[in-house]
Amino acid sequence: MIDALPRREREVFETLCKLETGTTAEVREALSDPLSDSAVRTMLSRLEAKGLVERSAGETSFTYRPLPGTEAVAVGALRRLIDTFFAGSAASAASALLGMGQKLTPQEAAALEAMIDKSVQDGASQDATGEDKS
């Protein structure tokens, strides 16, 4: 559903996901290309009508939060990025991320190694037809 959103609605939604909760003004300020306050309110109302955003009354204004977990949204956004720029290859995307020069902490490196090992083991447990052997 998120992929089908118009560009600006998706941007408002992704900005709200980044903030986790926010007022219209907070979302507007966090946008890379700010919209008017009324445009942000309209888009948040549309997102609410689509079941993507929940609105609650605050002391002075409404507060919005995304309904799907931000992890699910992040996975979808990452999938679009990988499909668009890395021909669907997660390995190519991971290589590009690691090549950006940011140092990994020992904990991050260990977590990545564990995920790679699990992925290799999961792949080894499937036969050529893609059926799970276990």
Q: Directed axis angle between helix 37-49 and helix 7-19, to 10°?
A: 90
Where do the domains of the chain lie?
2-66, 89-127
Q: Tokens in use for 25?
A: 């003004």
| pTM, 2 dp | 0.61
Whether pLDDT at 70 is above 70: no
Q: Tokens in use for 87?
A: 């021909």
Lowest mean pLDDT among 4-13, 54-63, 71-80: 71-80
Short-list 67, 90, 71, CA closest to 80? 90
Whether pLDDT at 88 is above 50: yes
pLDDT digits (tens, 9 = 90+) for 118-128: 988 888 777 54
pLDDT digits (tens, 9 = 90+) for 12-61: 998 998 999 999 999 999 999 889 999 999 999 999 998 899 999 988 88
Residue 132, SS3 per DSSP: strand
- What mean pLDDT, rounded, does the chain reach? 86
Residue 123, judged by CB atoms within 10 A of its CB (0-12, 13-18, 19+), counts as exposed
CATH class of 2-66: mainly alpha
Whether pLDDT at 133 is above 60: no
The mean pLDDT of 99-117, rounded to a whole number, is: 88
